């Protein structure tokens, strides 16, 4: 009898496969590093649903995190990208220098450039907000394809991509252009289009609204000061509470822009 033929004609229901480690193996040790307490708590709650996962700690302190990694040797570090003192990418390099068999999973808000970079370098990443299904898929993949201490090579690949191809593509009226985020001074909304000012003496009309552009830029560097303007904080020179304005400058270029009252308060907290 052709059992294979019979099987091929049978429709099986989708199985809800949940991560299970071999009982002979040790628990999968994980560490959570994020400067947002709510994000750490949310991830901890989800990971606690998996009996084979041992959470060795969660912290916003990178010095404490490095000590935990060196002493506890976690299998996975869930690492937020946008940290206040140094970026998750910079901290990942320090983890790599420890030469431990520790894998890094970057946790990030929506940032197309960062996600593209992770795909190229084969780094695992989770897109906020994280849910149980995402964690389950990641743990299943991790268990099946246990990394063999290749964090350093992955980092080299990641930084090579960022350094060589660290430009964003923006559609223009006549085609498209590539620009490095570091060259951007500010964006100005013009109806459903946006004017890009960069380099510092060039500008271009982009066929996207300013909100869509904000989504693909690193929020650590770019800040929306009003409905009309998105600025590069690296070129922020001064802020006036009296006139509700801020000035950005680079070389001989200088521009003063209006900032809304609520955004001024947020900017003040951001820059402290």
pLDDT band per the 50, 70, 90 thresholds, residue 215: confident
Helix (H, G, I), strand (E, B) or coil at 54: strand
The reply to whether 187 and 100 lie within a common domain is no
Q: Is residue 4 part of a domain?
A: no
CATH number, domain of 38, equals: 3.40.50.2300
Share of the chain above pLDDT 90, in %: 47
pLDDT tens digits along 151-187: 777 877 777 666 655 677 788 989 888 888 889 999 9
The reply to whether 159 and 206 lie within a common domain is no
| Cα–Cα distance, 233 to 100 (Å, whole number) | 36
**Do the beta carbons of residue 39 and residue 78 sit within 8 Å?**
no
Average pLDDT over residues 37-59: 95
Q: Which two tokens stand for residue 186?
A: 């500010």
Q: What's residue 21's pLDDT?
A: 45
Q: Is the dihedral of CA 169, 131, 27, 69 positive or negative?
A: positive
SS3 content of the chain, % helix, strand, coil (to 5): 35, 30, 35
* Residue 193 CB burial class (10 angstroms; 0-12, 13-18, ≥19): middle
The reply to whether 255 and 240 lie within a common domain is yes
| Cα–Cα distance, 230 to 222 (Å, whole number) | 7
pLDDT tens digits along 129-150: 899 999 999 998 888 776 555 7
Q: Is residue 6 part of a domain?
A: no
Q: What's residue 105's pLDDT?
A: 92
Phi, psi for 40 (deg, rounded to 5): -65, -45
Q: Is residue 71 part of a domain?
A: yes
Q: How many CB atoms lie within 10 A of CB 35?
A: 16
The reply to whether 172 and 140 lie within a common domain is no
Average pLDDT for the chain: 83
The reply to whether 142 and 55 lie within a common domain is yes
pLDDT tens digits along 255-269: 999 999 999 999 988
Paired sense of beta strands 229-232 and 193-198, if any: unpaired
Q: In the chain, what is the greatest distance between 2 CA atoms, to the nearest angstrom?
A: 87
Q: Is residue 221 part of a domain?
A: yes
Helix (H, G, I), strand (E, B) or coil at 162: helix
The reply to whether 232 and 250 lie within a common domain is yes
The reply to whether 77 and 210 lie within a common domain is no
Q: What's residue 20's pLDDT?
A: 53
Neighbouring residues of 168: CB distance < 8 A, sequence distance ≥ 6: 112, 113, 178, 179, 180, 181, 216, 217
Give this prediction's pTM. 0.57
Q: What's residue 1's pLDDT?
A: 35
CATH number, domain of 249, equals: 2.40.50.1020
The reply to whether 126 and 40 lie within a common domain is yes
pLDDT tens digits along 182-207: 899 999 999 889 999 998 889 999 99
CA distances 107 to 35, 130, 133, Å, are: 12, 8, 15
Q: What's residue 112's pLDDT?
A: 63
| Cα–Cα distance, 219 to 240 (Å, whole number) | 22
The separation between the first and the last C-alpha atoms of the chain, rounded to the nearest angstrom, is: 75
Q: What's residue 16's pLDDT?
A: 52
Is the pLDDT at 76 greater than 60? The verdict is yes
Is the pLDDT at 35 greater than 50? The verdict is yes
Is the pLDDT at 109 greater than 80? The verdict is no
Q: Is residue 1 part of a domain?
A: no
The reply to whether 244 and 258 lie within a common domain is yes
The reply to whether 94 and 147 lie within a common domain is yes
Share of the chain above pLDDT 70, in %: 83
Helix (H, G, I), strand (E, B) or coil at 80: strand
Q: What's residue 148's pLDDT?
A: 57
Domain termination site, one of 164, 189, 211: 164
Is the pLDDT at 24 greater than 60? The verdict is no
pLDDT tens digits along 223-245: 999 999 999 999 999 999 999 99
Q: Is residue 123 part of a domain?
A: yes
Q: Of 86, 163, 75, give the one whose Cα is nearest residue 124.
A: 75
- Domain region containing 121: 11-164
Domain termination site, one of 114, 134, 164: 164
| Cα–Cα distance, 102 to 70 (Å, whole number) | 10
Q: Is residue 5 part of a domain?
A: no
Q: What's residue 147's pLDDT?
A: 56
Domain termination site, one of 132, 164, 196: 164
| Cα–Cα distance, 176 to 33 (Å, whole number) | 38
The reply to whether 227 and 146 lie within a common domain is no
The reply to whether 160 and 232 lie within a common domain is no
């Amino acid at each position: 009898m052709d059992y294979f033929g019979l099987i091929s004609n049978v429709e099986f229901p989708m199985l809800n496969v949940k991560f299970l480690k071999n009982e002979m193996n040790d628990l999968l040790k994980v560490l959570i590093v994020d400067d947002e307490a709510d994000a750490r708590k949310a991830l901890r709650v989800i990971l606690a649903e998996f009996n084979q996962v041992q959470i060795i700690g969660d912290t916003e302190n990178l010095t404490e995190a490095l000590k935990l990694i060196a002493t506890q040797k976690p299998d996975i570090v869930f690492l937020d990208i946008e940290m206040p003192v140094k970026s998750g990418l910079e901290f990942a390099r320090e983890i790599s220098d420890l030469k431990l068999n520790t894998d890094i999973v970057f946790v990030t808000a929506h940032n197309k450039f960062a996600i593209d970079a992770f795909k190229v370098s084969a780094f695992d990443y989770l897109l906020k907000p994280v849910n149980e299904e995402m964690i389950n898929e990641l743990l299943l993949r991790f268990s099946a394809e246990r990394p063999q201490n290749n964090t350093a090579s992955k980092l080299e690949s990641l930084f090579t991509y960022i350094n060589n191809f660290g430009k964003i593509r923006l559609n223009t009226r006549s085609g498209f252009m590539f620009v490095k985020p570091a060259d951007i001074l500010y964006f100005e909304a013009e109806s459903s289009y946006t004017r890009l000012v960069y380099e510092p003496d060039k500008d271009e009309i982009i066929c996207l609204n300013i909100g869509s552009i904000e989504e693909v830029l690193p929020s650590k560097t770019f800040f929306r000061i009003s409905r009309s303007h998105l600025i590069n904080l690296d070129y922020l020179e001064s802020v006036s509470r009296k006139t509700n304005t801020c000035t950005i400058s680079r070389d001989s270029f200088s521009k003063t822009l209006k900032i809304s009252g609520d955004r001024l308060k947020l900017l003040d907290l951001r820059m402290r």
